[in-house]
Protein backbone atom coordinates (compact mmCIF):
# COMPACT_ATOMS: atom_id res chain seq x y z
CA UNK A 1 0.00 0.00 0.00
CA UNK A 2 2.90 2.37 -0.61
CA UNK A 3 0.90 4.04 -3.37
CA UNK A 4 -1.93 4.70 -0.95
CA UNK A 5 0.40 6.41 1.53
CA UNK A 6 1.98 8.42 -1.27
CA UNK A 7 -1.44 9.48 -2.53
CA UNK A 8 -2.70 10.47 0.92
CA UNK A 9 0.38 12.52 1.79
CA UNK A 10 0.44 14.14 -1.64
CA UNK A 11 -3.18 15.25 -1.46
CA UNK A 12 -2.78 16.55 2.10
CA UNK A 13 0.37 18.50 1.25
CA UNK A 14 -1.15 19.85 -1.94
CA UNK A 15 -4.01 21.36 0.07
CA UNK A 16 -1.65 22.80 2.67
CA UNK A 17 0.58 24.27 -0.01
CA UNK A 18 -2.41 25.96 -1.67
CA UNK A 19 -3.29 27.54 1.67
CA UNK A 20 0.32 28.62 2.18
CA UNK A 21 0.52 30.17 -1.26
CA UNK A 22 -2.64 32.17 -0.53
CA UNK A 23 -1.04 33.43 2.69
CA UNK A 24 2.08 34.45 0.78
CA UNK A 25 -0.01 36.28 -1.82
CA UNK A 26 -1.82 38.12 1.02
CA UNK A 27 1.52 39.68 2.02
CA UNK A 28 1.26 41.92 -1.05
CA UNK A 29 -1.49 43.95 0.63
CA UNK A 30 0.39 44.57 3.87
CA UNK A 31 2.61 47.53 4.72
CA UNK A 32 5.32 48.18 7.31
CA UNK A 33 4.55 46.55 10.67
CA UNK A 34 1.60 44.66 9.21
CA UNK A 35 3.94 43.15 6.63
CA UNK A 36 6.47 42.24 9.33
CA UNK A 37 3.75 40.50 11.35
CA UNK A 38 2.35 38.77 8.29
CA UNK A 39 5.82 37.63 7.32
CA UNK A 40 6.26 36.01 10.74
CA UNK A 41 2.94 34.18 10.41
CA UNK A 42 3.77 32.96 6.90
CA UNK A 43 7.22 31.83 8.03
CA UNK A 44 5.71 29.88 10.93
CA UNK A 45 3.15 28.28 8.62
CA UNK A 46 5.86 27.09 6.26
CA UNK A 47 7.98 25.90 9.18
CA UNK A 48 5.05 23.70 10.22
CA UNK A 49 4.54 22.62 6.61
CA UNK A 50 8.18 21.56 6.35
CA UNK A 51 7.60 19.26 9.35
CA UNK A 52 4.63 17.70 7.54
CA UNK A 53 6.72 17.24 4.40
CA UNK A 54 9.45 15.61 6.49
CA UNK A 55 6.91 13.17 7.90
CA UNK A 56 5.72 12.36 4.37
CA UNK A 57 9.30 11.73 3.27
CA UNK A 58 10.09 9.54 6.29
CA UNK A 59 6.94 7.52 5.73
CA UNK A 60 7.21 7.06 1.96
CA UNK A 61 10.93 7.56 1.24
CA UNK A 62 9.89 9.28 -2.00
CA UNK A 63 12.73 11.63 -2.93
CA UNK A 64 10.33 14.22 -4.30
CA UNK A 65 9.22 14.98 -0.76
CA UNK A 66 12.86 15.67 0.12
CA UNK A 67 12.98 18.14 -2.77
CA UNK A 68 9.76 19.79 -1.56
CA UNK A 69 11.22 19.98 1.96
CA UNK A 70 14.29 21.76 0.63
CA UNK A 71 12.10 24.21 -1.30
CA UNK A 72 9.67 25.13 1.49
CA UNK A 73 12.45 25.36 4.06
CA UNK A 74 14.37 27.95 2.07
CA UNK A 75 11.81 30.29 0.49
CA UNK A 76 12.38 34.04 0.83
CA UNK A 77 8.88 35.42 1.37
CA UNK A 78 9.90 39.09 1.15
CA UNK A 79 9.76 38.88 -2.67
CA UNK A 80 6.22 37.57 -3.04
CA UNK A 81 6.34 36.86 -6.78
CA UNK A 82 9.60 34.94 -6.48
CA UNK A 83 8.24 33.01 -3.48
CA UNK A 84 5.10 32.02 -5.41
CA UNK A 85 7.21 30.90 -8.37
CA UNK A 86 9.44 28.81 -6.09
CA UNK A 87 6.46 27.30 -4.30
CA UNK A 88 4.97 26.46 -7.69
CA UNK A 89 7.91 24.10 -8.20
CA UNK A 90 7.03 22.38 -4.92
CA UNK A 91 3.41 22.15 -6.05
CA UNK A 92 4.45 20.49 -9.30
CA UNK A 93 6.48 17.89 -7.42
CA UNK A 94 3.61 17.14 -5.05
CA UNK A 95 1.06 16.98 -7.87
CA UNK A 96 3.31 14.54 -9.73
CA UNK A 97 3.46 12.36 -6.62
CA UNK A 98 -0.33 12.35 -6.44
CA UNK A 99 -0.73 11.50 -10.13
CA UNK A 100 1.81 8.67 -9.97
CA UNK A 101 0.18 7.21 -6.86
CA UNK A 102 -3.30 7.54 -8.37
CA UNK A 103 -2.21 5.76 -11.53
CA UNK A 104 -0.70 2.90 -9.52
CA UNK A 105 -3.82 2.57 -7.38
CA UNK A 106 -5.97 2.58 -10.53
CA UNK A 107 -3.84 -0.17 -12.12
CA UNK A 108 -4.26 -2.23 -8.95
CA UNK A 109 -8.03 -1.70 -9.11
CA UNK A 110 -8.15 0.17 -5.82
CA UNK A 111 -9.59 3.35 -7.32
pLDDT in tens, 21-32: 999 999 999 999
Structural domain boundaries, residue 50: 2-107
pLDDT at 65: 97
Backbone conformation region of residue 64, classed left if phi is above 0, alpha if psi is from -120 to 50, else beta: alpha
Looking at residue 110, its pLDDT comes to 86
CATH number at residue 97: 1.20.120
Could you give the number of structural domains in the chain? 1
* CA–CA separation, 71 and 74 (whole Å): 6
Rounded to an integer, the average pLDDT of 63-87 is 95
Average pLDDT on 86-93 reads 97
CB 68 within 8 A of CB 94: yes
Report the predicted TM-score, pTM, of the whole model to 2 decimal places: 0.90
More confident site: 111 or 93: 93
Q: Is the pLDDT of residue 1 over 70?
A: no
Per-residue pLDDT tens for 17-68? 999 999 999 999 999 999 999 999 999 999 999 999 999 999 999 999 999 9
Amino acid sequence: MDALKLYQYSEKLKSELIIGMKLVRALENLKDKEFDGGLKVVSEFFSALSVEVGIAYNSTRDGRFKEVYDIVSNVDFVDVDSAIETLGKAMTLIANCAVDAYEELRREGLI
